[in-house]
Structure formats: structure tokens, C-alpha cells
Amino acid sequence: SGAQAAEDAKGLLQINGQTGLPIVALKKKALQRPGIDPTLSRLILWYLGCATFWLLFGTTVGEYLGIKFVAPDADHVSWLSFGRLRPVHTNAVFWGWASLGMLGLGYYVVPRVSNTKLANIKYGWYALWLINAAVILGTICLMAGINNGGGEYREYIWPVTLLFAIGVVLTLINFLQTIARRTTKEIYISNWYIVAAIIFAIVITIVAYVPYWQNGLGETIIQGYYMHQGVGMWFMLFTLGIVYYFLPQQLNKPIYSYSLGILAFWTQILFYTLIGTHHFVFSSIPWWLQTVAIVGSAGMLIPVIAGTTNFIMTFKGSWYKIKDSYTLPFFLIGIIFYFTGSMQGTAEAFRSTNLIWHFTDFTVAHSHLTMYGIICFFLWAGIYAIVPRLTGKEAPQISVGAHFWLALIGLMFYTIPLMYGSTLRGLHWIAGKPFIESILRENMFPRSESK
């Protein structure tokens, strides 16, 4: 009866003495690591906190822009017009969220793999405030209608971008001085990627904002170079450097192949710097330059396959650890999108496919697969890896799981309909059917957020 204690002499039942059952499977807590300087810990947390703010802000603006697609008269305020808010959204996410997130993780990785202290903690704070000031002032200027008048992702006027550039230069000096003081014999591959990314960011900014070569077709060529190098040589290169540290750390094993990492590093520098003009295939840009961009896009197969193989083989023998970790699923999804998103970019570059997908929303889907599917998932993985070590507190596991699945499912709902609908639209154009028919055909599939 209910008054008697439960017993099972034959062992047929499992008696659970827990007072409560977890809703989701418990994950393993972060492994204890050597202590980190409290001043550096505070700096990193500020970087990640500011980055998270800009992620929330930029995403909110993007969501509001998505509402404007279905309710264009939602407001009649010039500061909130689509043309002004769209660059606010992209620049806040690029320079606020992704850049500060990468730099914050970089301030953890560079001293750690160099086995020494950060060279100058003050430079880190200066860079943080300068970059935040750039995004704040840039946002205000864009909403007020004050912009560079140039191409995509360089809408900030040059004094605003100068603040960002100074912050990046201070970070480069800081990292180089830290690496120079290393107590290890070799420079670990993460530092190769991170330092190269910062150097390229400085070069890209100078090329994009110096007006000397910005006349006529030169402006278009520079725009293609700037857009793609910003994504591939700043965001991607830096983030890969982060992965080369955190993935082996979370798996508690060395990277599969240092040689594959070096191969991917140098071939990315060789090929990615050539592919900017594949955005302007069939334009008035010289045909040979378009061909160079297409060849470079095909050449990107080498670093992508080398990098993906390196990451997947590092997982070899440790796949079972995924179910016990809330960081490894983020890394795995980032790796999958690194391969598929990069292959998609190569496929889009060819003239035959460009005929179908160019000027459609397929490129919008591609840009979100790369920036959101690759960069964001890798950054979230790194953040979830170090914040428990910096704070001594574990993230609520059910909220981490909800974050992972909502982000992944949301991205799929966003990109798959756009890719399929845009393919139909391109085929309609090639078939010579009325333009409005292609719009109605694509509207069979849900649209979301902004372009």
C-alpha cells in the first residue's frame, strides 16, 4: 500500500531516489584550466558583453526591417526608413557583434597559446571603447542620413571608420607584442590566423576608403574586393583561428593535422584575395578580371576541404562527446556550414549558375549561411567554452539547448525557402516569362528579415 516503502527483491524495477528529474540530459561542466589574470578576464567579458548587446540590437533592427516587407507603412519616420535601417542592421552585426566577439575571444586565445601574459591590458580597453564608439556614432549617422555614399558594408563615413581602424591597429600591436614574448618555441596556428586577419582588416579598410582609385569601374572593383575580403579575410580567417584553439580544447585532444591547417591558411590567402569581382560577372568589368575571380573561387575548394577535413578528423574517435557537451554541437554545425556555405559560394561564381541566381535572393540566403551559420555558431561555441571559466558559473543548459535549436531551425526556415524560390525566379527570367510571375512564384515561400 502507499504506507509501505517501495522494494523490489527480484530487481525487476529501477527505484530512482532523486527528488526531481531533469528536463534535458545533463551536460558535463567545463574542465578546470589554469587560472587567468582577473584584469584580462574582466576585459574579455566586457568585449563579449558589448558584442552580445550589438547582436541583440542588430537582430532587432533586422526583425523590424522584415516587418516592413509586409507592413511598409508601419512608420513614417525618416530615421526608421528601410534605406537607413538596413545598413544600421548589417554594420551593427558586422562591426559590433562579430568583430567585438572575435576580438574578445582573441584576447583569450593569443596569450594562452603563447604561454605568456597579454602585453598591454590598456590597449585592449582603448580598442574596446574605440570600436564601440565607432558603431554608436555610425548608427546615429546612418539613421540621420549621413553616410559614405559608397557600396555595401562601407556606409560609415570615414571619421567613424577611422575610430574602428585605430582600435584594430591597437589590437594588432598588442597581439604582436604578446606573441613576441611567448615562451613557446613555435607560433601556434591560431595566432597565424588571428594576426593575418587583423592585418588584412587594416589593408581592406585602407583600400576601401582611400578615394584615389574610386572612379568609374574602379569603385565597383574595389567594392567587390572590400565585401569579400571583409567576410573571408577578416571574419572567416579570425574565426578559424579561434576554432583551431577551442575545438581541440573542448575535445581534449590535439588538432588532427598541423600541416592541413597551414595548407588551408596559405591557400585561403592565395585564392580568397582574388574572388571579389565574381559578384559582377557579365558586367562591364574586364572579362579577364571576372575570369580570375571565377578561377579563384574554384581554388577555394582547397582551403575549405583541407580545413573541413582537419576539423572532422579531429572529432574522429570523440563523436560520443557531443551528447555530453553544449559547445561541441555549435562547433559541429559551424563546420558543416563552413563546408556547405563555402561550396555554395564557389558554385555561385560560375557564369552558368550566375545567370540563374544573380539579382535574386539566393545571394541573401548565402550571406546568411556564411555570417550566421559559420561565424555566429563558431563565436557562440567559443563564448560558451570560456565564459564558465571566466565567471565560475555554468550557463543554464536548457536555455543553451533552446538557443542552439532555435538558431539552427530559424536559419533553415530563412535560407531554404529563399534558395528554392530564388532558383525558380531565375529560371523564370531565363525562360522569358513576365517579371511579376516570378515574384508571385517566389512568394509561395515565406520571406523573413531583411536583405
Q: Is 14 exposed, middle or buried (0-12, 13-18, 19+ CB in 10 A)?
A: exposed
Which residues contact residue 76 at a Cβ distance below 8 angstroms, ignoring those fewer than 6 apart?
none
Which residues contact residue 363 at a Cβ distance below 8 angstroms, ignoring those fewer than 6 apart?
348, 357
**Euclidean distance between CA atoms 272 and 345, whole angstroms:** 11
**Euclidean distance between CA atoms 374 and 345, whole angstroms:** 13
Predicted local confidence at residue 441, as pLDDT:
72
Q: How far is CA 301 from CA 118, 120, 233, in A?
A: 36, 39, 16
Give the containing element (helix H, strand E) for 146: none
3-state helix, strand, coil split of the chain in percent (to 5) is: 75, 0, 25
Predicted local confidence at residue 5, as pLDDT:
62
Predicted local confidence at residue 164, as pLDDT:
98
- Supply 146's cell numbers: 549621413
- Supply 238's cell numbers: 579570425
> One-letter amino acid identity for 13?
L
Angle subtended at Cα 152 by Cα 370 and Cα 47, rounded to the nearest 5 degrees: 60
If one counts every other C-beta atom within 10 angstroms of the C-beta of residue 302, the result is: 16
| 235 close to 102: Cβ distance less than 8 angstroms | yes
Predicted local confidence at residue 292, as pLDDT:
96
The residue with cell 561542466 is: 29
| 263 close to 303: Cβ distance less than 8 angstroms | yes
> One-letter amino acid identity for 273?
T
Q: Which CATH superfamily is domain 196-402 in?
A: Cytochrome c oxidase-like, subunit I domain (1.20.210.10)
> What is the SS3 assignment for 247?
helix
**Euclidean distance between CA atoms 151 and 260, whole angstroms:** 35
Q: What is the pLDDT along the chain (451 residues), one digit of tens a residue?
A: 456 665 656 555 555 555 444 444 556 665 555 678 899 999 999 999 999 999 999 999 999 999 998 899 989 999 999 999 999 999 999 999 999 999 999 999 999 999 999 999 999 999 999 999 999 999 999 999 999 986 889 999 999 999 999 999 999 999 999 999 999 999 999 999 999 999 999 999 999 998 888 888 889 999 999 999 999 999 999 999 999 999 999 999 999 999 999 999 999 999 999 998 998 999 999 999 999 999 999 999 999 999 999 999 999 999 999 998 989 999 999 999 999 999 999 999 999 999 999 989 999 999 999 999 999 999 999 999 999 999 988 888 899 999 999 999 999 999 999 999 899 899 989 998 888 887 777 666 555 444 4
- Supply 369's cell numbers: 549561411
> What is the SS3 assignment for 311?
helix
Predicted local confidence at residue 23, as pLDDT:
47
Question: Roughly what angle, to the nearest 10 degrees, separates helices 38-70 and 121-143?
Answer: 20
Predicted local confidence at residue 21, as pLDDT:
43
| 451 close to 82: Cβ distance less than 8 angstroms | no
> What is the SS3 assignment for 174?
helix
Predicted local confidence at residue 351, as pLDDT:
94
> Cα-Cα-Cα-Cα dihedral of 151, 378, 164, 191, to 10°?
-120
**Euclidean distance between CA atoms 287 and 78, whole angstroms:** 41
User: Which of the 8 DSSP states describes residue 8?
Assistant: -
DSSP 369-428: HHIIIIIIHHHHHHHHHHHHHHHS-PPPHHHHHHHHHHHHHHHHHHHHHHHHHHHHHHHH
Task: Spell 43-61 as b/e; 16+ CB within 10 A means b.
Answer: bbebbbebbbbbbebbbeb
Q: Is 168 exposed, middle or buried (0-12, 13-18, 19+ CB in 10 A)?
A: buried
Up-side HSE of residue 382: CA atoms within 13 Å toward CB?
30
Q: How many residues does the chain have?
A: 451
- Supply 313's cell numbers: 578528423
| 281 close to 358: Cβ distance less than 8 angstroms | yes
